[in-house]
Structure 1
Amino acid sequence: MVATPLLRVPQSGVRCMSSRFYRTRISPLRSTIDIKSFKPCLTSAQYFSTSLSRWQDEVLDRTRNIGIIAHIDAGKTTTTERMLFYSGFTRRIGDVDEGSTVTDFLPAERARGITIQSAAITFHWPPGGGSEAAQSKPRDESLPRSAVSHTINLIDTPGHADFTFEVMRSLRILDGAVYGVAGVEAQTEKVWHQASTYRIPRVIYVNKLDRDGAAFGRTVREVSSRLSVYPAVCHIPWFEAGTGPFVGIADAINLQGLRWREGEDGRTIKMMNLQQLDAEEPALAQELRKARAALVELLSEQDETIVEKFFECDEDHMAVSSMDIIESLRRCVLDPTSRIVPLFAGASFRNMGVQPLLDAVVNLLPSPPEAPDPEVSIGGVKGGLRRLLSGDLIVEQSEKAATPVKGKKKKSAALQTNPKDAIGKLQSCALAFKVVNDPKRGVLVYVRVYSGSLDRNSLLFNTNLHLSERAPRLLKMHANDAVEVDSIPAGHIGVVVGLKHARTGDTLVTYAGNKPTPPEPLTSLQLRPIDVPPPVFFTSVEPHSLSEEKKMQESLALLLREDPSLHVSVDEESGQTLLSGMGELHLEIARDRLINDLKAKASMGSIEIGYRESGLGASSSITKIFDKEIAGRRGKAGCTAIVEPFGEEEISEAADEDTLLAETIEGNQIIIQAPGLQMERAGRGEEETSPFLPPGMDAVTLRTALQNGALAALARGPQFTFPMHNTRVTLTINPTEHLFGSDTTTSALSAAARQATSAALRELPTGPGTVMMEPVMNVIISVDEASLGSVVHDISSSRGGHIVSLDEEVPLTATDASPTDPVVGQEDLPPIDPKRVYAPLDPFESSLGAEVSVSTSRPRNITAKVPLKEMVGYLKHLRSLTAGRGTFVMSVDRFENMSSQRQKAVITELRGGF
């Protein structure tokens, strides 16, 4: 809860405020505010404002926005349940198998025992930090941060590969992450690279150490070799008598053992110092000393401060204080160039290791002010949000916008008068990262507030849609439950109820003046959007009757607003509505939501593959003149088109002065040429124009109109009606033959380009011909050694795929990590030698057999390229081949031409066997 606006506080002081507000907000600050540091001329209102600002900064510093990310079945939801129980948020521990967990509240999640959509929840650690007095209590610098209660906003994410977008939009708004592993798998690497794309600080939690055959040391070595990081081993597992059951952990930071009682809820922990461990578990105590020495040595390679502390302790690894190690680990976690990642151990299902993990979250992961500066763009200039709020970025944008060009002098001068005035009116900036249609509360828009405070009844301007909406209610979500609040302060995650238009990835701002549109250039302010991966499967959706079609379309619109990774299109030939998604399970869940939750009376067909069509040769040059009346106005334009095959790997030729556009879009290349158009630029920053162009039309408008026309024609192939792929379209505009003064409109140009391109495409079947193309997937399959042979044989013989490699890393494609923002500095980093990484011996593992264990015991990875059609239903088949232990992830690699025999079989199947 945030104070009422400061403008209502009179200069006479704060006596008008309620006594409760004064007691809970101001009184606790008296002991923490140094009056001498204030200017002598401070008024009471200024004192109140500064005090409140310091209090808010203190609360924000004690906030953690984290997520739990991992591969499927790594124990993310189980760990979340324990966190909620130990923090006092719940009174019982939920179970995934029973369907009683807090964060998996959807019927489909409880029925399948997996997480489908991310759930946000807020709790305090250590417990008892909900009161404002507790949050304003100053921290003792000699104690770790976990000694004072912190607010944790936690997001539990899915692990299944079909819900990649759900993970990506959660990662977009997090400040830190707990990365859970139960062995490094293909999906493990994929999720890790996604987090690296957003530069999220992480700690690693090795879970499920209670399972038979659990190998902590092997997992540590896999983390180093396959994730290319140096694991800072902070915990080592405690197996009773060395080879017995997992009973606890040994803490290398605090040099102590933590033991839990078997079968209890985990709240009782027996703590033993190093001397007690020497007496009861001498082997464990010796290994703990090795772990502490390795931890200090590893930190010394990155952090100079810990080197000084080490020398101050007479080069004794055991004498370095735990606080020095925690602060050194925190510096490494917050440093984006560091490759050191803290690693912890536990067994969440057995209620072991979760409390130390929560301490690590508070001690090591960043608060919102310490997180990387969010990327924003304003008026075509990109930079950090903090630079924008300080005024530096807005000055740069204003200088760019204020170029002295003809016709724009007045507007540019207005912007240049005082560039910081507009930013001074910005009250809050938030990103909508998720939309949920709740049957009771209506549409819930999840937002992360990055600056200011989002207040109830404030007017939100959507900079993506350029419209304003009122925020009638604000909620703080606790999974499926909610608490109504008056405001959502910066750095926090909340929900806005009642927004009709906001979508995933939209930027929402509030501003002073309460006008429908904010001052320029705030209308162009946008936080970095969330990239949506392309769909790979589709299925048909049909209403039960014509009267139900409107209801079905409305339900599909709600479904797409919730999940932008779903796509809806209409087949022009059959008129069918097609729903596309990321995988079989994704579409299955969408069907359940559509029919059971949204009550749409419709049926879905079988899952189909999105094929493509490509020409085998070039067409002749075809010219079309469009001359028709559109909406009461005559439109006339012409265009010449040539289509020919194009390989995506081909390097485009250098554009000459007659080329207006040469761009590759969705696997096709569009080239626009205008010989003799004589383009010229009126001034710096002005668009190119030509005396031959119609009045009011510039080069950008011309290019856009022709490009849209060509794309419309490429959406439908001439022979098989699939979208065209690997096709180059060359459009030529002759100003004397194709432009007709004021009669040439943008719609006429688009129509002429579409007609010319379509006519050129229709030439292909009777000439060089066309061929069907099918998506080929890059598949990474994780299996055990015993199943390796049968899986390889099945892929290479029965499914028409070919094996690329065994146990080798393959670069991720654009669907695995954002193509627009690669991981800076990660491409050229040298690989990490696992022999240099400290890892304790696993039970039944000898020092001589450690290297052998890494190669023979760990899962084998098969990398193959397989047609997507053969991967439909593959998960069930793989589990039957591997006794339920095999998993796989896949992403689109490319489209390949089909052989005539395979093409004939596919066409026969699509036509129902005729």
Structure 2
Amino acid sequence: MVLRCITRKHYGLVASRYISQNAATTRHITTSSHLNAAPTAGHEAAKTATATAISKTRNIGIIAHIDAGKTTTTERMLYYSGYSRRIGDVDEGSTVTDFLPAERARGITIQSAAISFTWPPSGANPWLPKERTDPKALSATPCNINLIDTPGHADFTFEVLRSLRVLDGAVCILDGVAGVEAQTEKVWLQAQKYQIPRIVFVNKLDREGAAFGRTVREVGARLGVWPAVCGVPWWSEVGRLRGVGDVVGLRGLGYAEGGDGKEVDVLCLQQLEMEDAGLAAELKKARIALVELLSEHDDVMVEKFLEAHEDHLAISAAEITASLRRCVVNQHPQRVVPVFAGASFRNTGVQPLLDAVVDLLPNPEERPDPEIKLGPETRGGLAAFLSGKLDTVITTEQTKPSSKAISKDKANLALQNLEACALAFKVVSDPRRGVLVYIRVYSGTLARNAPLWNTILQNTERAQRLLKMYANDAVDVENIPAGQIGVIPGLKFARTGDTLVSYTGAHPKNGPPAPVNRMQLRPINVPPPVFFVSVEPSSLAEEKNLREALELLLREDPSLHVSVDEESGQTHLAGMGELHLEIARDRLVGDLKAKVRIGGIEIGYRESVTVPSGEVTEVFERDVGGRWSKAAATASVEPAVEDGMSEAVGKQRHVFELADRNRLVITTPTLNADGTSTSEDHPSLPEDLPLNTVLHHALQTGTSAACARGPVHNYPVHSTQINLTFNPAEHIFPSTTPAALSSATRLAVQSALRSSAKINETVMMEPVMMVTISVNEESLGSVVHDISSARGGSVISLSSEDSSDTAATSTSSIARIDIDPSKIYAPPDPFAGGHATSTSSSSNSVLLGNANGTRQIVARVPLKEMVGYLRHLRSLTGGRGTFTMVVDRFERMSGQRQRAVLQRLGGDYG
């Protein structure tokens, strides 16, 4: 309790200092953002001050594989910045960012936590005061760092994805013993997708078996980038980590054993030659390699090298830092990645990492223009849109086809009153403050009590309060300027991925004028769930409470999915994995106090037709809402063949790819591609049913509804081609509406599916996972045997295979450049059994096999066999085995497996 009080007091001090520094500079941003505002001295001063504030802002994230040390590193950053008074411990459950009870109980990060601090600390710098005398250095003056600590477990990939969406830079932490692990490659790919600059911190170098050099080579081989070694481990004679060597500054940083890391012994190169000649020699080699690497990717560094008379050591640290920054910030995709060394748990090497965050990672203004969407065909950058350079002549999709287009002049005029644009990237239900919506402001300034128009939900909510978050604590602020991350409490409807705009004079119901009212920042794609459990209220009186709790849960985590089985009436909650669903169940019962009965974990199977059906025609004729509607549809189904429709696409055939690899083929023998009749003898389409918009949408909607439930086992239909033959003379009536046509299509497709099932029963399909298992050498044989025999999986590769083949397998989905491992500089690993020299070609053979005997198995395994696999793997490997998995594809089940599944399901529900 005493710690919490002290920490909260410090939150207030930090926040008040931040507000006092930025309130005056951000108060006038709204007026200065108007496109046609008259330039005044006050406006120019505000712009200058705002630009200075943004240039001193870093929005960064910590990304890594589970148990690489993300939260531990974050705790040290908070401690050295003066944010916290003591260092939290993950095992004790005393960390600042892991504040949820489930996180502290399990010792892992479940939801990303946002926290703000300043580096370097204001006033007298407790760390290396003599090294902060250069006013030109970026890290010479305090910068505001907004840090997000993300989860590392594969089940919470979406949590990482939505955090990456709003970041400007990332610190990727690697385990110095395990090297580049499977989930590391996955989050690296996600960061590369959003063009986020990254730096690497090799952690846990204090542990037995740590191999910094091998890990550096794995960065090049597995991640497809050139590692620029900026820090090397400083080993003592007995193999303990004494400190780190600063390659950029040519100095040694010694840390007292058992200390808190604030007292650092700094040795220049001359002192280091007397203290540890081996480290001094290695620093010179590392500096030469660093300059050579930068010269290959930065022309300015070549000039500096020539000015220094080709002396690698004569180039100043500031010039090398500037070159590194250019390579990190300006290259897309990033080719050079700075690599630093340390051990967060031993309080070693974190301060140089913080310096690198300020010196090398970009501020919000240095990031690419965020992408926006104004319509189905209109996309572009936000800055281009705000400046009026983006072509905004679009028609409103929800209006009638005869609606007038929006002129460019009117569109530009509508931009003048746009005050702020923000993205809601996360929603959290806080027991004390209610629903908290985390936002990133991309333009203007969001002021307190401003009405916010949701461009996706098309409604208005008011931001009555604005918060600056400090993990689980918060401070009220008056506004949130561009480039900053903040929180809006109390919004009732905003969800993850929604775009919120503040507009002067906007109508509460209709919102701002077009095209501002439908502007959307790039949305976040939600991966499909693979596990599900049944959720039932304990009584009818609890049904409403359960529904409200599930709605709140879905607002918090869109990667969860809720569906209702029409036959049984059961509510199914689906998620990304066992742990994901386990946490969701704990939230429902523990935090949201829902009185429910929760079933066991089930698998989302699919079913597919095996033989073609004949054509089936169905007529829908019903009174809907007091209006008589009638329509007809003709459909047939057949198994889908990969790449089998290239010859089918023509003037009278329209092909659409649906969910679950289903394909819809619409044939219009009497209509041209534009919807007109091919002959005067054939009727044309009604004006309210244009072919390429309303008609196609109605047919797709009906087909998707029919494919949601298979004809035999009631699982969604997969890998099926649906053929629709449409003729206005046979299927259109005077009372036909798009809804009636959609219903007729649904009936016809369902009848065709049943007809195919009568000829030959459908086959069930199961999700097959791509599993990457990390095990120790001694357990490799038993794990491979268990996967291939007991679980029906197939092993694709082992880490002992040829390094280039394995690297290509593990990084096949990463847009990577070809890296020759022999050309990568890496210091020797004298105490880890690694390579002896940095240029030895024999070291390539151990690139992907770890020095401590850790091996990787890549296999395809049915998802059903992976339920509860973690406990079994730990028993096989003595608790040292870990695995990650992603959905690879759905495959047809053998007759024996299908009978076993149906028998089990019948036993459960019969």
TM-score by length of 1: 0.89
Contact 2:675-2:685 within 8 A present in 1 as well: no
Say if 2:412 is the partner of 1:420. Answer: yes
CA positional deviation for 1:548? 0.9
Equivalent residue for 2:374? 378
The whole-number CA distance in structure 2 between the counterparts of 1:203 and 1:237 is: 17
Separation of aligned partners in 1, 2:684 and 2:771 = 53
Q: Give the counterpart letter for 1:712 in structure 2.
A: A
Deviations 1:179-215 (A, max 9, x none): 1001111111111111111110010000001101111
* 1:752 is aligned to 2:744: yes
The correspondence of residues 656-671 of structure 1 with structure 2, limited to 5 A, is 656-671=650-665
Over residues 565-607 of structure 1, what are the superposed CA-to-partner deviations in whole Å (9 max), with x where a residue is unaligned?
A: 0000011221111010000000000000000000000121111
Match of 2:719 among 701, 726, 732: 726
Deviations 1:150-193 (A, max 9, x none): 00000000000000000000000000000100111111111111
8 Å CA contact 1:142–1:323 kept in 2: the answer is no
Alignment-derived partner of residue 783 in structure 2: 791
In the alignment, which of 806, 809, 833 is matched to residue 820 of structure 2? Answer: 833
Q: Deviations over 1:832-888 (max 9, x none)?
A: 121101111112453367456546534322111111100111111112212222221
Structure 1 distance, partners of 2:845, 2:506, is 69
Letter in 2 for 1:590: A
Contact 1:402 1:415 in 2 (8 A): no
Do the aligned residues in 2 keep the contact of 1:614 with 1:771 (CA within 8 Å)? Answer: yes
Local SS of the residue matching 2:40: helix
1:616 matched to 2:603? The reply is no
Residues in 1 aligned to 2:674 and 2:764: alpha-carbon distance in whole angstroms: 43
C-alpha displacement of 1:478: 0.3
Alignment of 1:249-328 (within 5 A): 249-328=244-323
Does structure 2 conserve the Cα–Cα contact (< 8 Å) formed by 1:641 and 1:753?
yes
Q: 1:350 to 1:461 in 2, by over 3 A?
A: same
Q: Which amino acid aligns with 2:102?
A: A
Paired residue for 2:441? 449
Structure 2 counterpart of 1:626, one-letter code: F
2:505 is aligned to: 513
Return the alpha-carbon distance in structure 2 between the equivalents of residues 199 and 87 of structure 1.
28
- Structure-2 change in CA distance of 1:210 and 1:649 (3 Å): farther
Matched, 1:638 2:632: yes
The C-alpha deviation readout for 1:9-62, integer Å capped at 9, x for no partner, is: xxxxxxxxxxx9999789999xxxxxxxxxxxx99x921221121111101100
Cα deviation, 1:447-482, whole Å, max 9, x if unaligned, reads 000000011111111111111111111000001000
Moved more, 671-680 or 746-755: 671-680
Counterpart check, 1:892 vs 2:879: no
In 2, distance between residues paired with 1:805 and 1:21?
52
**Matched letter for residue 896 of structure 2:** Q
- Conserved? CA contact 2:426–2:496, under 8 Å: yes
* RMSD of Structure 2 on Structure 1 (CA): 2.6
Note if contact 2:258-2:346 (Cα within 8 Å) is conserved in structure 1: yes
- Secondary structure of the residue aligned to 2:486 is strand
Corresponding residue pairs, total: 848
TM superposition shift of 1:678: 4.7
**CA distance 1:28–1:189, change in 2 (3 Å):** closer
Structure 1 residues 418 and 740: alpha-carbon distance in aligned structure 2, compared to 1, 3 A threshold: closer
Q: Deviations over 1:378-433 (max 9, x none)?
A: 2331111121122111xx122x5599x99758x33x52444421222211110000
Give the superposition deviation at 1:696: 2.1
Give the structure-2-normalised TM-score: 0.90
2:192 and 2:333 in contact (8 A); partners too: no
| CA–CA separation in structure 2 for the residues paired with 1:219 and 1:188 | 12
Task: Give yes or no for contact 1:694–1:740 (8 Å, CA) kept in 2.
Answer: no
The match for 2:528 is: 534
- For the 8 Å contact 1:454–1:488, the answer to whether it is kept is yes
Contact 2:769 2:889 (8 Å CA) reproduced: yes
For 2:62 and 2:19, locate their aligned partners in 1 and report how far apart those are by CA, in whole Å: 38
Deviations 1:501-520 (A, max 9, x none): 10000011111224321011
Q: Distance in 1 between matches of 2:849 and 2:562?
A: 46
Distance 1:407 1:179 in 2: 50
Instruction: Report what 1:63 is aligned to.
Output: 57
CA distance in structure 1 between the partners assigned to 2:325 and 2:117 by the alignment? 22
The 2-side partners of 1:363 and 1:148 are apart by 11
- Give 2:344's aligned residue: 348
Equivalent residues of 2:370, 2:381 under 8 A apart: yes
TM-superposition CA deviations, 1:676-701 (whole Å, max 9, x none): 1356479xxxxxxx963235222211
Contact 2:231-2:247 within 8 A present in 1 as well: yes
Give CA deviations for 1:783-816 in whole Å, capped at 9, x if unaligned.
2222221111111001001111223246689xx9
Say if 2:214 is the partner of 1:227.
Answer: no
1:740-771 per-residue CA deviation (whole Å, 9 max, x = no partner) reads 12x00112111111111111111223212211
**1:785/1:856 contact within 8 Å kept:** no
Alignment correspondent of 2:332: 336
Which residue of 188, 191, 210 corresponds with 2:187?
191
SS of residue paired to 1:309? helix
Q: Distance in 1 between matches of 2:613 and 2:199?
A: 57
**Secondary structure in 2 matching 1:513:** coil
Distance 1:94 1:519 in 2: 50
**Greater CA deviation, 879-888 or 414-423?**
414-423
State the SS of the aligned residue for 2:658.
strand
Match of 2:547, SS? helix
- Which runs of no fewer than 5 residues in structure 1 stay unpaired? 1-19, 30-41, 131-138, 683-689, 818-822
Contact 1:302 1:338 in 2 (8 A): no
AA aligned to 1:386 is A
CA deviation after TM superposition for structure 1 residue 244, in Å: 2.3
- The whole-number CA distance in structure 2 between the counterparts of 1:788 and 1:70 is 24
Structure 1 residues 54 and 856 mapped into 2: Cα distance closer, same or farther (>3 Å)? Answer: closer
Bigger shift: 329-338 or 160-169?
329-338
Structure 2 counterpart of 1:716: 709
Alignment of 1:118-197 (within 5 A): 118-128=112-122, 143-182=136-175, 183-197=179-193
Question: SS where residue 424 of structure 1 aligns?
Answer: helix
Report if the CA contact (8 A) 1:248-1:259 is conserved: yes
Q: Deviations over 1:490-545 (max 9, x none)?
A: 00000011111100000111112243210111112111001111111111111111
1:204 aligns with 2:200: yes
**Alpha-carbon contact 1:88-1:127 (below 8 Å) kept:** yes
Equivalent positions of 1:552-563 (< 5 A) are 552-563=546-557
Q: Distance in 2 between matches of 1:695 and 1:843?
A: 79
AA matched with 2:756: L
Q: Is 2:544 the counterpart of 1:544?
A: no
User: Which secondary structure does the structure 2 equivalent of 1:460 belong to?
Assistant: strand
- Seen in structure 2, the aligned counterparts of structure 1 residues 422 and 734 have a Cα distance that, compared at 3 Å, is same
Which amino acid counterpart does residue 252 of structure 2 have in structure 1?
G
The residue aligned with 1:368 is 364
Cα distance in 2 for residues equivalent to 1:669 and 1:423: 42
CA separation in 2, counterparts of 1:278 and 1:449? 50
List, as ranges, runs of 4+ consecutive aligned residues in structure 1 with deviation greater than 6 Å: 20-29
| Structure 2, unpaired ranges of 5+ | 1-16, 27-36, 125-131, 677-681, 800-805
Instruction: Give the deviation of 1:658 after TM superposition.
Output: 2.1
Partner residue in 2 for 1:10: none
User: Conserved in 2, the CA contact under 8 Å of 1:541 and 1:605?
Assistant: yes
C-alpha distance in 2 between matches for 1:506 and 1:895: 31
Q: Which residue of 1 aligns with 2:30?
A: none
Please tell me the residue identity of whatever aligns with 1:392. K
1:676 paired with 2:644, answer no
CA 274–417 in structure 1, closer or farther in 2 if over 3 Å, else same: closer
> Does structure 1 residue 430 correspond to structure 2 residue 430?
no
* 2-structure distance, mates of 1:510, 1:566: 30
Structure 1 counterpart of 2:31:
none
